[in-house]
Structure 1
């Protein structure tokens, strides 16, 4: 029976936009990865435990229509391709979030094609004006994620991508630049502008 390795982490607060627990496997990562690549169930449990919560939070905060399904898609792709992965834990986490980001892009493209189809059939207003759909989605989303999505609502698409990968994913500027295919300087600028916009928005909610 294999003993699941100890994990450490740093504490951040997701619900207030500044906290989330980013777990770190640490020195045992190489052993966990090698075992996962051979299909060891215990190793996949470690990877899922350490990453699923953050990836799910990222998918929710970026508006995935069914975050749990998308999370399953992400881990299915990891299972298919993990044998080709080479790198340390930081590189692995970056790779996982890149997979999640690509799943979001695929979903957005499908949504866009579907909207075009609805417009062609004059059904767009029916799809948009049904309040039950948005109410159900709201009820299925936990309070913490709703707070994050609300705070990010006024930002540009790129700013939201950068800040969610930073706040929820705990990724570095370099890792985010690789995922979004942008220069690190551009990512820093998006982060700075996004944070400035968030501060102004949050300041409006502070009682005088």
Structure 2
């Protein structure tokens, strides 16, 4: 992978950025943050973190604190990064389940009221509705799908993050996709009449 360097030119290889970050070069640490933080935030949001940006900050504090001991390729760095993100998320979810949650009431989040047709239509087409589909999946399948789709990790990287074999990850992904296909095929599609229009 090639990054933008501190001069704003293309062509800085990952190994160079990593070595500079391990030597505490601010530009290199900032480059790693810009490159990977959005994926970590997306993963945390997709798995239900209450504050995905805060979780990503905690992950990078840990990464930068231990970076001097890391040896590996860009792919191995992604696995390392998401292993830390996964552990932080598990910690957050455990704390919330122990403490229970108190959420401030907001009318738009009140499940007792029926949303308008416009709101339903907007939800169906939003990223949140896609992520909400993952909520029907068991936890292992949900983890695999969020890491695969939101964080764009390979099967091998996901296997490392979740401490599973690549075969187990493939099996979880297949079961998740089968479950999602069944769920989506039974939901009414808001634009179905348009399918009958001539091309």
Deviation of 1:110 after TM superposition, in Å, equals: 0.9
- For 2:9 and 2:75, locate their aligned partners in 1 and report how far apart those are by CA, in whole Å: 17
Conserved in 2, the CA contact under 8 Å of 1:61 and 1:145?
no
Partner residue, 1:77: 62
Q: Write out per-residue CA displacement over residues 142-181 of structure 1, whole angstroms, 9 at most, x where no aligned residue.
A: x854123212121111110000100011111111111111
Of 32, 49, 53, the match for 1:64: 49
Of the candidates 132, 138, 146, which is equivalent to residue 106 of structure 2? 132
Structure 1 residues 17-60: Cα deviation after superposition (integer angstroms, max 9, x where no partner): xxxxxxxxxx7110000000111111112111111111101100
Relative to structure 1, is the Cα distance of residues 39 and 133 closer, same or farther in structure 2, using a 3 angstrom cutoff? Answer: farther
Task: State the partner residue of 1:92.
Answer: 77
CA distance in structure 2 between the partners assigned to 1:81 and 1:186 by the alignment? 29
Runs of 4+ in 1 over 4 A off after TM superposition: none
Counterparts of 1:36 and 1:77, CA distance in 2: 14
TM-score normalised according to structure 2 size = 0.78
* Correspondence for 1:183: 165
1:6 aligns with 10
Distance 2:20 2:126 in 1: 34
Aligned counterparts of 1:107 and 1:134: Cα–Cα separation in 2:
25
Task: Give yes or no for the alignment of 1:43 onto 2:28.
Answer: yes
Unaligned runs of 5+ in 2: 111-124, 194-199
For 1:55 and 1:144, the matched residues in 2 are separated by: 20
Shift in Å, 1:131:
3.4
Structure 1 unaligned blocks of 5 or more: 8-26, 116-123, 137-142
Q: CA RMSD in A?
A: 2.4
| Larger RCO: 1 or 2 (CA < 8 Å, sep 6+) | 1
